[in-house]
Structure 1
Amino acid sequence: MPNSTASHTAVELVVMDMAGTTVTDDGLVIAAFDTAATTVGLAETGTERDEARRYVLDTMGQSKIEVFRALFDSEDRAQQANRAFEAAYDALIDGGVAPVPGAVDTVTRLRDAGIKVVLTTGFSAATQQRVIEALGWQDLADAWLAPGAAGRGRPHPDLVLTAALRAEVSDVAAVAVVGDTASDMLSGLRAGASLRAGVLTGAHRAPALREAGATHVIDSVADLPALLLP
């Protein structure tokens, strides 16, 4: 349910997260992380592994290379972990990812109403493209953005601001950000998006989403049209 009233600014663009928001991957992130952690020599059991897993869960939505830089003690080790993570995740994508129920209909309804939709991720652009191809989503959204060429990953505002520039919105207040993590909400807040909707289909629960700046918390992206459309 919303925890504030909807913005009076007409929404022109929705910047929408993928994994956990529009895409379900059934634990593939942690499975791929465990492969990456083992690759760089982190003990397979024990406190260090448990704490690393918890950090990965707490930072869901952030750029994966930045997560590995925070976890490991050198750039070379972080890059090695990131490469191993992407290879492991990519190998699990086929048959391991699916649309969140109602996600395709939501994006279609928003675009039919004249609202642009950009899908974003904390994965690399190459992994994002693999997910898009596995789902057959090449024509679903107006654009797709990933950390790198589109700027820094979440919780920085870069992906939201890049989407706003490409969509040529009249005002950043006309942007809505939708995601399942605190990082999604914080990136929207920092970018100046007036509507920030947290969804409960992914990593973080309502209190964490609200604390990070969510203006609304909804059960699923399927509930977004009721929030944005007449």
Structure 2
Amino acid sequence: MKPELVVLDMAGTTAADDGLVEQSFITAITTVGVPSERHPEMLRYVRETMGQSKITVFRALLGEESSARRADDEFRRVYEGLVHSGRCVPLPGAEDTVRRLRADGIKVAFTTGFAAGTQHAILDALGWQDLADLALAPGPGVRGRPYPDLVLTAALRLGVTDVRAIAVAGDTPSDVLAAARAGASVAAGVLTGAGTVDDLRAAGATHVLGSVAELPAAVQG
């Protein structure tokens, strides 16, 4: 079945941010008073949950809602500043992949674990505001990965006729799980970000690709 929709993760899949998540995270938890001796254990959790909604990660680590929101606000401020300074760049072949898919009549949606404002900061920095058909982030009524909401919301908004006609690509196990839970026939893991071959296979990846540039051939045959 030729896909009607391809859902692409951003950081680690289509864009490289060179460790900015961890850098911004350390600043955020320091701001809310987390002592430095707790930073390594928290960073391990951040790495394990890459791809998931950042506010959800802060809630799990900090417990108190006010602290989680303060940390999330600080994370966004720092990360978006680094993005605007030129620290986020397209991964090789990513833009060509999106253009190739759309030229073949396949709709493309960008999804992320970042807040909508951070996602738009990345799109602005890369000049990708109009590259895809849709950009989605977690928010009210749309849970982040590994829930299927982002994939299914993209399918509804873009008029997909069958969830089996969806392909998803991302660099984390959370991306793969979200794809499987949404019923996508392709749940591709890419090796340009946080996930390893073993991580992605264990999450149920249908394909493990060296980069997103390999995706058109994988989904179109």
TM interval, shorter chain, is over 0.9
- Residue 56 (1) aligns with residue 46 (2): yes
Letter in 2 for 1:29: V
Structure 2 partner of 1:91: 81
- Residue 206 (1) aligns with residue 193 (2): no
Structure 2 partner of 1:17: 9
Letter in 2 for 1:88: V
Same amino acid, percent of matched pairs: 60
Q: Which has the higher helix share?
A: 2
Letter in 2 for 1:24: A
Structure 1 partner of 2:68: 78
Letter in 1 for 2:100: R
**TM-score, scaled relative to structure 2:** 0.97
Per-residue CA deviation, residues 170-204 of structure 1 (Å, 9 max, x unaligned), is 10000001000000000001110011100000001
**What is the CA–CA distance in structure 2 between the aligned matches of 1:207 and 1:218, rounded to whole Å?**
12
CA contact (8 A) 2:179 2:187 kept: yes
**TM-score, scaled relative to structure 1:** 0.94
Per-residue CA deviation, residues 16-48 of structure 1 (Å, 9 max, x unaligned), is 00000001000000000000010111112x2x2
- Residue 127 (1) aligns with residue 127 (2): no
**What is the CA–CA distance in structure 1 between the aligned matches of 2:108 and 2:35, rounded to whole Å?**
42
Letter in 1 for 2:77: A
Among 87, 98, 108, which residue is 2:99 paired with?
A: 108
Letter in 2 for 1:162: T
Letter in 2 for 1:84: E
**What is the CA–CA distance in structure 2 between the aligned matches of 1:169 and 1:73, rounded to whole Å?**
38
Letter in 1 for 2:51: G
State the SS of the aligned residue for 2:168: strand
For structure 2, the 5+ residue unaligned runs are none
Distance change (3 Å), C-alpha of 1:82 and 1:148: same
Runs of 4+ aligned residues of structure 1 deviating over 2 Å after TM superposition are: none
CA contact (8 A) 2:167 2:219 kept: no
State the SS of the aligned residue for 2:87: coil
**What is the CA–CA distance in structure 2 between the aligned matches of 1:116 and 1:149, rounded to whole Å?**
24
Distance change (3 Å), C-alpha of 1:101 and 1:125: same
**What is the CA–CA distance in structure 1 between the aligned matches of 2:215 and 2:116, rounded to whole Å?**
26
Among 153, 157, 162, which residue is 2:148 paired with?
A: 157
The alignment yields a C-alpha RMSD, in angstroms, of: 0.9
Letter in 2 for 1:79: R
Letter in 2 for 1:14: V
Per-residue CA deviation, residues 89-124 of structure 1 (Å, 9 max, x unaligned), is 011002100001000000000000000000000000
Per-residue CA deviation, residues 142-182 of structure 1 (Å, 9 max, x unaligned), is 00000004600000000000001111111000000100000
For structure 1, the 5+ residue unaligned runs are 1-8
Structure 1 partner of 2:30: 38
